[in-house]
Amino acid sequence: MRIEGYQFSEICTDLSEISSIDVGVYVVLCLISERPHCVLYIGTSEGGTRADVTPTGNLQYTLSTHEKRRCWEDNVHEEIGYCVKHVTDVERRIDIRDELQWKYTTPCGVDPWDAPQTGDE
């Protein structure tokens, strides 16, 4: 799937379809009739800054127990979908995540106007 010019994995609705060792940028989507309707959240796995970085190396576990999961469930219209862009370079992951966060207003995400620029808060 393409998001703002970046190639992400196919959308999956079952977390077991996501590699537990994926490193990169992930996007949580609201799906209607299996099609993307809106973006709920954008984060990074293994690296990054602010609160949207995964705390462990297991992306499946992180997404299933994510502190924003309740927000995703409260704001989804039909079904939650996930897609991941594999990016090994930490700075590149942060750049892509930050760019996407500026382009999308997400109900469960970090507001780039209010977010600190460093730290895992």
10 backbone φψ class: left, alpha, beta (φ>0; ψ -120 to 50): beta
The whole-number pLDDT of residue 61 equals: 82
pLDDT at 111 over 70: no
For the entire predicted model, the pTM comes to 0.83
Encode pLDDT of 68-88 as tens digits.
999 999 999 999 999 999 998
Which tens digit of pLDDT belongs to each residue from 12-59?
999 989 887 778 899 999 999 999 999 999 998 864 445 555 555 578
Model pLDDT, residue 22: 78
The domain locations on the chain are 2-103
How many whole angstroms from its chain centre is CA 17?
Answer: 15
Q: What is the pLDDT of residue 10?
A: 95
pLDDT of residue 113: 55
